[in-house]
């Protein structure tokens, strides 16, 4: 039993608990910001509650705290089991959890006090950047040592995605945050804008996407009771993601004086992203063909399946909005906000929650505290996310067409007010889902008992 307990369990539990906590904090900050868009003076001029600070705190708590913690925890669960070995070091794993949470906590506190490097998704101050890089290095070393002592020769594709995510996220974070310039976290002019969106886009493409896909490739074959449809297709998806994703961030700068050749490369790469996306989805959906009803009997599988659907929508919309003709209407509007939420919460967030609910019983040796509560959370988050997407997309089209027709901002804002009210209402569903999830996960861990007899913990269960 001691050997079982050392198999990364405490690291995984800690990451999952952190994820549930940060989901509550991040969504509460988001809801508060949504209310401020309806009534800007409602909360007064309290410095740490002004929208500019709150929005930065919200995005970082959701991205790194909620989604990042869950996916990193899942990586510590699935890598040792797929390799039929023990996690190299539980101590390193726990150190990384503590430093990760400390970095996010310090970073968010600094943001609310006005200390920011003020670049999209790269707002954390320099000491926090360094701490995050140390965590990424620590996790990579821990999992690499686990790979070296593996008992399974075949490196299943989820392992490829996890290791690739850690390498490319480290590089993207280092360069994107201009860590060599601690005073500013930036360089200068248009090169900085290009660098910023190289990073901003790669956080989704090299951090969330490969880790979420790794979870999906692990969960879906087990839930359906089938082997993965094609290991070859899975590797085509992996290598095409690495080939195409790194250079498409400039499609956020089509209306800026960035080099034309770089814009063309970005647009071409954005369209080309349909290759890795559809490769992944076709592989997963053919694996579950005829087994959708089985997927929906497992709460973890249900969340992951919803994540794959949002992945499809996100990655169909992404290439579409990279086209200059479409961007004339959609860019700098709430359409882009809807797209970002669809990628982070719809795809990566739902998949991350699926990973938590699938893996928790296999860690604790017993069912989750309440599958009913997990199902309630599923519907709350799904309803809120669907509302967010529909409302903000419509608001973005109103904004874009108004500006295209020469309307001034003060005449457009009253038209957006009903949409902002509906947006905040959708946010209530998401916050409620976060609170339900925190309670359910805490109770599942609190009532955990010995996992003797759990087949997965012996390393025998896997795709």
**Tell me: the pLDDT tens digits for 398-431?**
999 999 999 988 899 999 999 999 999 999 999 9
Tokens at 344, concatenated: 């982070």
In this prediction, residues 191-214 reach a mean pLDDT of 94
pLDDT given at position 447:
75
| pLDDT above 90: residue 376 | yes
The SS3 assignment for 86 reads coil
What whole-number distance in Å separates Cα of residue 251 and Cα of residue 456? 43
The C-alpha angle 451, 454, 457, rounded to 5 degrees, equals 85
Q: What is the pLDDT of residues 160-187, one digit of tens each?
A: 999 999 999 999 999 999 999 999 999 9
Binned at pLDDT 50, 70 and 90, residue 43 comes out as confident
Residues 6+ apart with CB under 8 A from 461: 81, 222, 362, 455
Could you report how far apart the first and last alpha carbons of the chain are, in Å? 24
Predicted TM-score (pTM) of the model is 0.94
DSSP-derived 3-state class of residue 359: helix
Maximum pairwise Cα distance, the chain: 69
> Looking up tokens 């700098």, which residue turns up?
332
Q: Between 457 and 35, where is the model more confident?
A: 35
Residue 419 tokens, joined: 């949409």
Q: Is 379 exposed, middle or buried (0-12, 13-18, 19+ CB in 10 A)?
A: exposed
Place of tokens 């499609």: 251
Confidence of residue 7 (pLDDT cuts 50, 70, 90): low
pLDDT at 459 over 60: no
Distance of CA 168 to the CA centre of its chain: 15
Q: Residue 121: what pLDDT?
A: 92
Nearest of 174, 176, 184 to residue 117 by alpha carbon: 184
Q: What is the mean pLDDT of residues 392-396?
A: 96
Distance of CA 202 to the CA centre of its chain: 12
- Angle at the Cα of 201 (from 196 to 205), degrees rounded to 5? 145
CB-based contact 158:217 (threshold 8 Å): yes
CATH T-level topology, domain 2-322: Cytochrome C Oxidase; Chain A (1.20.210)
Say whether pLDDT at 75 is over 70. yes
pLDDT for position 448:
62
With residue 261 as reference, give the H or E element that holds it: helix 260-272
φ and ψ of 3, to 5 deg: -65, -40
Angle (deg, nearest 10), helices 334-341 and 299-321: 150
| DSSP one-letter string for 397-419 | HHHHHHHHTT--HHHHHHHHHHH
Q: What is the pLDDT of residue 113?
A: 96
User: Which of 57, 49, 52 has its CA nearest to residue 124?
Assistant: 57
Residue 52, Cβ density class (10 Å: 0-12 exposed, 13-18 middle, ≥19 buried):
exposed
Helices marked H in 322-408: 324-330, 334-341, 350-364, 371-404
Q: Give the residue-averaged pLDDT of 63-70.
A: 98
- What is the average per-residue pLDDT within 3-11? 65
Q: What is the mean pLDDT of residues 28-41?
A: 94
Backbone angles phi, psi at 59, to 5 degrees: -65, -40
Backbone angles phi, psi at 419, to 5 degrees: -65, -40
What three-state secondary structure class fits 8?
A: coil
Q: Is the pLDDT of residue 69 over 90?
A: yes
CA-nearest of 455, 458, 364 to 84 is: 458
Query: Length of the chain, please?
Result: 463
| pLDDT digit string, tens, across residues 221-260 | 999 999 999 999 999 999 999 999 988 999 999 988 999 9
250-304 pLDDT, tens digit each: 999 998 899 999 999 999 999 999 999 999 999 999 999 999 999 999 999 999 9
Write down the residue that tokens 């509560």 correspond to. Answer: 373
Give the model's pLDDT for residue 462: 63
């Amino acid at each position: 039993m001691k050997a079982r307990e050392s198999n990364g369990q405490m690291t995984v539990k800690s990451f999952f608990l952190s994820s549930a906590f940060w989901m509550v904090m991040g969504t509460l900050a988001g809801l508060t910001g949504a209310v401020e868009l309806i009534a800007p003076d409602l909360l007064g001029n309290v410095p740490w509650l002004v929208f500019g600070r709150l929005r930065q705190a919200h995005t970082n708590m959701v991205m790194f705290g909620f989604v990042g913690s869950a996916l990193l925890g899942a990586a510590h669960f699935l890598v040792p089991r797929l390799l039929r070995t023990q996690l190299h070091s539980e101590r390193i794993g726990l150190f990384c959890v503590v430093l990760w949470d400390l970095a996010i906590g310090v970073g968010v506190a600094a943001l609310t006090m006005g200390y920011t490097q003020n670049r999209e998704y790269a707002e954390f101050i320099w000491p926090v950047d360094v701490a995050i890089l140390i965590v990424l290095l620590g996790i990579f070393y821990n999992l690499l040592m686990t790979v070296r002592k593996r008992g399974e020769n075949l490196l299943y594709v989820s392992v490829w995605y996890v290791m690739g995510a850690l390498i490319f996220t480290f590089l993207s974070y280092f360069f994107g945050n201009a860590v060599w310039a601690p005073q500013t976290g930036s360089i200068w002019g248009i090169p900085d804008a290009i660098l910023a969106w190289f990073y901003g886009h790669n956080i989704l493409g090299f951090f969330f996407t490969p880790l979420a896909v790794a979870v999906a490739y692990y969960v879906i074959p087990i839930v359906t009771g089938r082997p993965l449809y094609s290991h070859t297709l899975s590797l085509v998806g992996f290598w095409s993601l690495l080939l195409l994703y790194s250079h498409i961030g400039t499609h956020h700068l089509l209306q800026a004086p960035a080099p034309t050749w770089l814009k063309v490369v970005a647009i071409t790469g954005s369209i080309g992203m349909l290759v890795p996306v559809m490769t992944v989805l076709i592989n997963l959906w053919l694996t579950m063909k005829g087994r959708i009803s089985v997927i929906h009997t497992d709460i973890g599988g249900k969340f992951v399946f919803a994540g794959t659907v949002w992945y499809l929508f996100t990655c169909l919309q992404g290439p579409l909005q990279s086209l200059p003709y479409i961007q004339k209407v959609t860019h700098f509007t709430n359409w882009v906000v809807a797209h970002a939420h669809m990628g982070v919460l719809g795809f990566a967030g739902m998949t991350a929650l699926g990973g938590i609910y699938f893996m928790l019983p296999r860690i604790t040796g017993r069912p989750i505290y309440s599958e009913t509560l997990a199902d309630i959370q599923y519907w709350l988050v799904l309803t809120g996310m669907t509302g967010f997407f529909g409302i903000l997309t419509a608001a973005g089209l109103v904004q874009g067409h108004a500006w295209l027709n020469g309307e001034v901002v003060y005449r457009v804002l009253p038209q957006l007010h009903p949409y902002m009210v509906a947006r905040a209402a959708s946010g209530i569903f998401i916050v409620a889902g976060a609170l339900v999830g925190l309670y359910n996960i805490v109770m599942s861990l609190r009532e955990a008992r010995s996992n003797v007899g759990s087949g997965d913990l012996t390393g025998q269960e896997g795709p």
